[in-house]
Structure 1
Amino acid sequence: MLFAHDTECGLIAATALVNTDDPADEGLPDVAALDRFVVTYGWTGRHEHTEAELRAVRELRPRLRRIWHADVDEIVAVVNELLRESHALPQLIRHDDEPYHLHAVPRDAPLATRMAVEAAMALADLVRAGELGRLRICAHPDCENVLVDLSKNRSRRFCEAGCGNRAAVSAYRARKAATRS
């Protein structure tokens, strides 16, 4: 593990949330999809299962996406803005058989607020560690997804949507075509 468990979880969840924002294929089309997202990424605490909550989570995505296209000063500005808006007050918390970790808003805060703060806290750790290079855009030419490279050797290039497999298949087909010529 390169970073604290809660940092890695926050980075992975923020990345996944940003990647649900696809105009061609909405990743959070309804409350049921948000429910699945909450379960998949282990969100605990308040969850209202409402259209209003879904809208609030969707509105967070473009703010987080900006981070993958920004320099360090803009990232810091976004992180500080998210923390300030949420009245974040970091505290060590233990719950659900998890070891102590940081929460900066109460567990009964709105889901979108908790998502924003968890992402901001995780990104703050990246800034402090000088590891913003781990935030990347998928290397597949037809993909706009973002990723966070948590590998030790910093070698991850493709998102979770299967782009690595598509790139490998394309390269294989190109090699095969070249040998036939």
Structure 2
Amino acid sequence: MTNSSGRHVEAFGLASVVELINEWGEVPRAVADEADAPYPEVTAALQISADDFRSRYGAPTTAALRTAADALYPLFGSDGPAMVEAIGRLLTSTALRPALIARDADTVDEVWECTRAADRLVAGAVLSIVEHLRFDGDVTRLGVCSGDDCADVYVDLSPARRRRFCSVTCQNRNRARSYRRARAEHGDS
């Protein structure tokens, strides 16, 4: 959300960050052989109304969405030091910074500010990841799919903390390929 001066940025849901990366990121689209496929409807994919998107991040251009997705992709599948460094670079490049505002005469609130409108989409997504890491610092829970033909990202929210695939579909596809390979190696048909 932005304030009247348009500088305040709020985190958006991690599911929307994942969708942004998977639907507009160059690597996930190329690995899935979707580089030439049309992009989805922005507001449906990111689960936000068109008015909310425009008021928070400006006009949803494909170029801006691709740039944001490609900037965020390296955060997933990184180890702790690499993630910290990548987040630091994004915080610096977007000039995202905490600030205080007076809600009324007796109360202040923490907000995040990003002065450049072009950086607000990346800033909101980075803020989402930072807030997630604040409550669960396990960076291995922000992963890249282990599927053979997939490079989609995911957030592992499972109790076992063992997720390796972006979806059950990718997991089943990978199991079926492994099964067929094993049968072929043993001469079974």
Q: Smaller-chain TM-score range?
A: 0.5 to 0.7
Question: Aligned letter for 1:12?
Answer: A
Q: Is 1:164 paired with 2:171?
A: yes
Distance 1:134 1:56, change over 3 A: same
> In angstroms, what is the RMSD of aligned CA positions?
4.0
What's the offset of the Cα at 1:134? 0.2
Cα distance in 1, alignment partners of residues 163 and 121 from structure 2: 24
Gaps of 5+ in 2: 1-9, 102-108
What's the offset of the Cα at 1:141? 2.2
Match of 1:74 in 2: 82
Match of 1:18 in 2: 21
The 5 Å alignment of 1:102-121 reads 104-105=112-113, 110=117, 113-121=119-127
1:147 aligns to what SS in structure 2?
strand
What's the offset of the Cα at 1:113? 3.0
What's the offset of the Cα at 1:10? 3.5
What's the offset of the Cα at 1:158? 1.4
Cα distance in 2, alignment partners of residues 63 and 168 from structure 1: 31
Gaps of 5+ in 1: 1-5, 94-100
Cα distance in 2, alignment partners of residues 152 and 70 from structure 1: 21
2:76 aligns to what SS in structure 1?
helix
What is the percentage of aligned positions where both structures have the same residue?
A: 26
Distance 1:41 1:102, change over 3 A: farther
Cα distance in 2, alignment partners of residues 28 and 125 from structure 1: 32
Quick one: which of 124, 129, 132 aligns to 2:130? Answer: 124
Q: 2:94 touches 2:116 (CA, 8 Å); kept in 1?
A: no
Q: Is 1:64 paired with 2:67?
A: no
Quick one: which of 135, 138, 149 aligns to 2:142? Answer: 135
Distance 1:11 1:82, change over 3 A: same
Q: 1:79 touches 1:120 (CA, 8 Å); kept in 2?
A: yes
Q: Is 1:155 paired with 2:162?
A: yes
Q: 2:77 touches 2:142 (CA, 8 Å); kept in 1?
A: no
What TM-score comes out, normalization by structure 1 length? 0.64
